[in-house]
Structures are given as C-alpha cells and as structure tokens.
A = this chain, B = another copy of it.
Amino acid sequence: MDLKLLEKEFFELVNIGIALTSEHEIDKLLEKIVTEARKFTSSDAGSLYIKEVESLRFMVAQNDTMDKRLGAGSGKTSFRPFSLPLNKKSLAGYVAVTGKTLKIDDVYLIPPDSEYLFNRDFDIRNNYRTKSMLILPLLDADEEILGVLQLINSINAEGEVIPFDDYYVKFVQCLASQASVAIKNAHLAIELKKAHLNTLMHLSVAGEYKDNETGRHLKRIFSISGIIAANLNIQTDAVDLIKYSSLMHDIGKISIPDAILLKPGKLTPEERKIMEQHTIKGAEILNDPTSPILTAAQIVALNHHEKFDGTGYPNKLKGKDIPLSGRIVALADVFDALISKRCYKAAYPIDEVLKIIKEENNKHFDPEIENSFFKSLEHIIDAYEKNKD
C-alpha cells in the first residue's frame, strides 16, 4: 500500500471517529457506524447487534444488493427484529462471548464441527449469498462487550465478492473502538436524561399527593400533550420540552391551603380566587431563567388555564398570545378531566367528551390544537387507556 493511500485511509478513520462521537441520537449513531464501516471496507452489507442482559439484539441491517433488487428509494432492507442467545453457536454470539474478531473468507465453508456456525436462513429467504465476513466485538475502554459489528461481502473494483483484506482488520478494529466510545457516550446521555425525567415525574406526582393522585393523571397528560405537540410540525426537542413541562402544570397546588384544595363541595368565589392562584404560584416555584426545562414548565404552569377567547385566568390572554404549550396542555388537561372518574364526578362517556371539546372550539380551545387533537384521536384514547386509573 502506498503512502498517499495509507494517509488518506487514516485521516478518513480519524474523521469517522469524530463523526461518530459527535452523533448523540442512538438510532442514527448505530446506522452511521454500519454505514461508515461498510464504506471503509467496501462491504455489500453490514449489521449491528447490541448486547442486552442475556442476548444480542439485532439493531441495524444494511444491504446494498437487496436495496438494489427492491428498487432505489425503497429505503432500508426490511429485517424482522430479533435477538440471538448469548452463546458461541452463532458467529455474532461467538464474537460477543469471546471478544475475538472473526475474519472468514467463505462462511459456507465453515466446517460443521466448528465451534460456531453460520445461519443460512436469511440467505435462503432472500436468495442472497453471504460469503466473506468480518465480525468485530464492540468493546468499551474496560473491555466490556457492548455489541457486535458484522461486515458482509467485501467487494472489489470489479464488483466481485472477495475476502476481507488482512491489512484492514486493524483499521476496522479501531473504527469499532471509536464506535464503542460513541455508543457508550450516547447511552450515558440517555441515562442522564431518563434520570432527569424520572425525577420530574416523581416530584410532580409528589406535588399532587394530597389530591390522592397516583401519577396516572400526569402520565396521561404527558402522553397526550406529546401526541398533540408531535402533530404540529415543531422540532422533536420542542415536543419533548412540552411533554416534560406538562408534568408540572399543577405544581402550584402545593401552595393552596388544604381547606380549599381538599374541599368536597363547591368553592366560594373567594376560595376560587385563591385556587386560581395555583397558576401564579406554580410559575413562582418554577422560576429559573438558567434552566430551559424549568422555564418551559413555568410557561405551562402559568398558562394552562387561559382560554382561546380570552376568558381564562390568570391573565385573560387571548388567541395566539397564549403560549403554544399552554394551549396544548389546556386541551389535554380538560380532556383527561372529562374522561376520568373523579371523587366529585363520574367519567363522561367518550362521545360526550368529544362533543364538549368540539363545542369549545375557538372558545376554550385553539382550533389548531383541536385539529391536532382529533387527527390523533385514536392514539390519544390508547394513551388514556394505558394509564387509566
């Protein structure tokens, strides 16, 4: 191999590392790992498994030949998701258990008394011929197995399947190490976000403890707000913020005296005025300009009782002056209140609920939000059923 080519390959490898570790969305990252590894080795196909407790979960499959056969633009080759047991019998299992790299020139020539065997199911089902393979463990810095990367059918300039070049193995092992760091980092970020969400959920539930809330109401508001928001052509991050914020919409109730919060009968006008303060108190509690999530939550807490026609509280805002998240959570909250049984009222039948919501179109609710609500009605009712009290 000449110096210039070697240099090119190496800089490519370094840049792949940079690209992989810059990608934080796990699904995109795993696809990118397979894409880059295939490009680097001119492989016709590739796949990736992630190690779970006692199995290997199949996560990514790419196959140029199949894609061409199914026609351009058909997108990804469709594979059924499956898991492999974590033992030496399969090729990927062998690599995951031993941590060794396998380089096989023709998998059909693996002797039947070998420790590992090639499973021809995919080939038979799809009339494909798997021949050369390079199978690498994805190891983190502590040599823990995170998964397995499989590269299939190295293709030469003439388009023929050839064995993987020995020289490349070291390169691809480097690539696998870079991929492992990226996967580990992405997982860590997911864990951190999950922990954060979990905390929000628990403490929001705590805020409604005296209402005897089980947290199901909040889980429903969370899902329903998310479904409505997702229909609105806004960014995923914005949808997430609205979902998380919705959890804290009633946190201000913490400040309402028990005598009013827990009063069984109807509230007097004065009591109602105090009760309505939960929007303002909530905004006070959540006031933190340095935190995007708390700022978003503050907006929801303050505005989820505003009405589209300007008759809501606390600020009698009108129309699009009400922040989007407030308009979304307003509908989610009322829907959930109507459809659920509460200590002071029976559950309304779904037809009745939808009738009321339609009547409130352009009055209590923003027509755009109603539109988005009805667009995914089935999905919303599912979300309700899943967390029914």
Judged by a CB distance under 8 angstroms, whether A358 is at the interface is no
Judged by a CB distance under 8 angstroms, whether A199 is at the interface is yes
Whether A294 contacts B202 by the Cβ 8 Å rule is: yes
A6, A19, A22 — which one has the most chain B CB atoms within 10 A of its CB? A22
A7 to B292, CA, bound (A): 46
* Chain B residue with the shortest CB-CB distance to A10: B10
Whether B199 contacts A251 by the Cβ 8 Å rule is: no
Whether A21 contacts B24 by the Cβ 8 Å rule is: no
Whether B141 contacts A22 by the Cβ 8 Å rule is: yes
| Chain B residues, Cβ within 8 Å of A294 | 198-199, 202
Given the contacts A7-B6, A209-B255, A255-B210, A18 and B192 also touching, CB distance less than 8 Å: no
| Chain B residues, Cβ within 8 Å of A193 | 192
A14 to B178, CA, bound (A): 8
Choice from B177, B198, B248, B254 contacting A209 with Cβ under 8 Å: B254
Which segment of A79-87, A180-188, A331-339 sits at the interface?
A180-188
Judged by a CB distance under 8 angstroms, whether A59 is at the interface is no
A316 to B1, CA, bound (A): 75
A residues 287-332 in Cβ contact with B at 8 Å: 288, 290-294
Judged by a CB distance under 8 angstroms, whether A162 is at the interface is no
A21 to B291, CA, bound (A): 26
Judged by a CB distance under 8 angstroms, whether A206 is at the interface is yes
In the assembled complex, how far is the CB of residue A30 from the closest CB belonging to chain B, in whole angstroms? 17
A188 to B210, CA, bound (A): 37
Judged by a CB distance under 8 angstroms, whether A53 is at the interface is no
Judged by a CB distance under 8 angstroms, whether A228 is at the interface is no
Judged by a CB distance under 8 angstroms, whether A174 is at the interface is yes
Choice from B15, B254, B290, B293 contacting A206 with Cβ under 8 Å: B254
| Chain B residues, Cβ within 8 Å of A181 | 18, 21-22
Whether B11 contacts A174 by the Cβ 8 Å rule is: yes
| Chain B residues, Cβ within 8 Å of A19 | 141
Choice from B24, B170, B182, B254 contacting A254 with Cβ under 8 Å: B254
A15 to B171, CA, bound (A): 11
Judged by a CB distance under 8 angstroms, whether A34 is at the interface is no
Whether A177 contacts B254 by the Cβ 8 Å rule is: no
Interface flags, A9-43, vs B, CB<8A=1, else 0: 01101110111011010000000000000000000
Choice from B17, B199, B286 contacting A17 with Cβ under 8 Å: B17
Whether B285 contacts A209 by the Cβ 8 Å rule is: yes
Judged by a CB distance under 8 angstroms, whether A97 is at the interface is no
A159 to B65, CA, bound (A): 57
Whether A293 contacts B199 by the Cβ 8 Å rule is: yes
In the assembled complex, how far is the CB of residue A55 from the closest CB belonging to chain B, in whole angstroms? 20
* Chain B residue with the shortest CB-CB distance to A181: B21
Interface flags, A187-213, vs B, CB<8A=1, else 0: 011001101101110111111011000
Given the contacts A3-B6, A209-B255, A198 and B17 also touching, CB distance less than 8 Å: no
Whether A14 contacts B17 by the Cβ 8 Å rule is: yes
A222 to B167, CA, bound (A): 56
The 5 A-B residue pairs whose C-beta atoms are closest, nearest first, are A203-B203, A10-B10, A258-B258, A192-B192, A196-B196
> Which residues from chain A sit less than 8 Å from chain B, CB to CB?
1, 3, 6-7, 10-11, 13-15, 17-19, 21-22, 24, 140-141, 170, 174, 177-178, 181-182, 184-185, 188-189, 192-193, 195-196, 198-200, 202-207, 209-210, 248, 251, 254-255, 257-259, 281, 285-286, 288, 290-294
Q: Can you list 15 residue pairs at the A/B interface with Cβ under 8 Å? A: A10-B13, A14-B178, A17-B17, A17-B178, A22-B184, A24-B185, A196-B199, A198-B288, A198-B294, A199-B199, A202-B291, A203-B204, A206-B207, A206-B254, A257-B258
